[in-house]
């Protein structure tokens, strides 16, 4: 009887220890690419790319770049699974009235790809970021 109690206790202990063992959560894309410093580098590179591109810079002529930098960092952080809160406006609201066409949209995506490349993201990582942003495309085009 005592042995049975001991055995049950042992089994219960093993069960509890197994349950308490930290389960390995899958790493977010945010963590995989290097977290905040990488998100900031992508944003900085993106702003640079925009400033050197006459076609796209035209859209940003009146933009407060300090605000854009802050909101774009938050947005990219959230969309890669990072621990941030996006405090900017909706994609529809921000891009409304700009009448962005597909050519300029694709050109902007090219600039973002250059920015990610320069920040050291691999090709598959770049694609994962773009995949997160793709559904927002319809909120930006021809508005």
Which residues carry a binding-site annotation for heme?
Answer: 95
With contact defined as beta carbons under 8 Å apart, do 136 and 91 qualify? yes
Query: Helix, strand, or coil here: 138?
Result: helix
Could you say which of 39, 41, 116, 140 contacts ligand HEM (CB under 6 A)? 140
With contact defined as beta carbons under 8 Å apart, do 33 and 121 qualify? yes
Could you say which of 31, 35, 109, 117 contacts ligand HEM (CB under 6 A)? 109
Could you say which of 88, 114, 117, 128 contacts ligand HEM (CB under 6 A)? 88
Shortest CB 134 distance to ligand HEM, Å: 9
Residue nearest to ligand HEM (CB): 88
54 in the Ramachandran plot: left (φ > 0), alpha (ψ -120 to 50) or beta? alpha
Total site size for ligand HEM, rule CB under 6 A: 23
Q: Which is nearer to ligand HEM, 6 or 67 (CB)?
A: 67
With contact defined as beta carbons under 8 Å apart, do 119 and 42 qualify? yes
Annotated binding site: 95
Candidate ranges 4-12, 23-31, 34-42, 92-100; the one touching ligand HEM (CB under 6 A): 92-100
CA dihedral 34, 38, 39, 43 (to 10 degrees): -170
Q: Residue written as tokens 């891009």? A: 95
What is the C-alpha separation between 70 and 74, in angstroms, rounded?
6
Give yes or no for residue 56 binding ligand HEM (CB under 6 A): yes
For binding to ligand HEM (CB under 6 A), which residues are involved? 56, 59-60, 63, 67-68, 71-72, 75, 88-89, 94-95, 98, 100, 104-105, 108-109, 112, 133, 136, 140
């Amino acid at each position: 009887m005592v042995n049975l109690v001991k055995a049950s206790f042992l089994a219960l202990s093993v069960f509890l220890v197994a349950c308490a063992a930290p389960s390995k959560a899958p790493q977010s894309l945010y963590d995989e690419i290097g977290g905040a410093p990488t998100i900031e580098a992508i944003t900085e590179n993106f702003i640079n790319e925009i400033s050197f591109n006459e076609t796209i810079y035209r859209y940003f002529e009146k933009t407060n770049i300090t605000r854009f930098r802050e909101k774009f960092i938050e947005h990219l952080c959230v969309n890669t699974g990072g621990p941030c809160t996006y405090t900017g406006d909706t994609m529809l609201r921000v891009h409304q009235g700009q009448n962005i066409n597909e050519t300029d949209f694709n050109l902007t995506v090219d600039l973002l790809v250059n920015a990610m490349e320069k920040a050291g993201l691999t090709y598959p990582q770049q694609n994962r970021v773009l995949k997160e942003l793709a559904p927002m495309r319809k909120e930006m085009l021809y508005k």
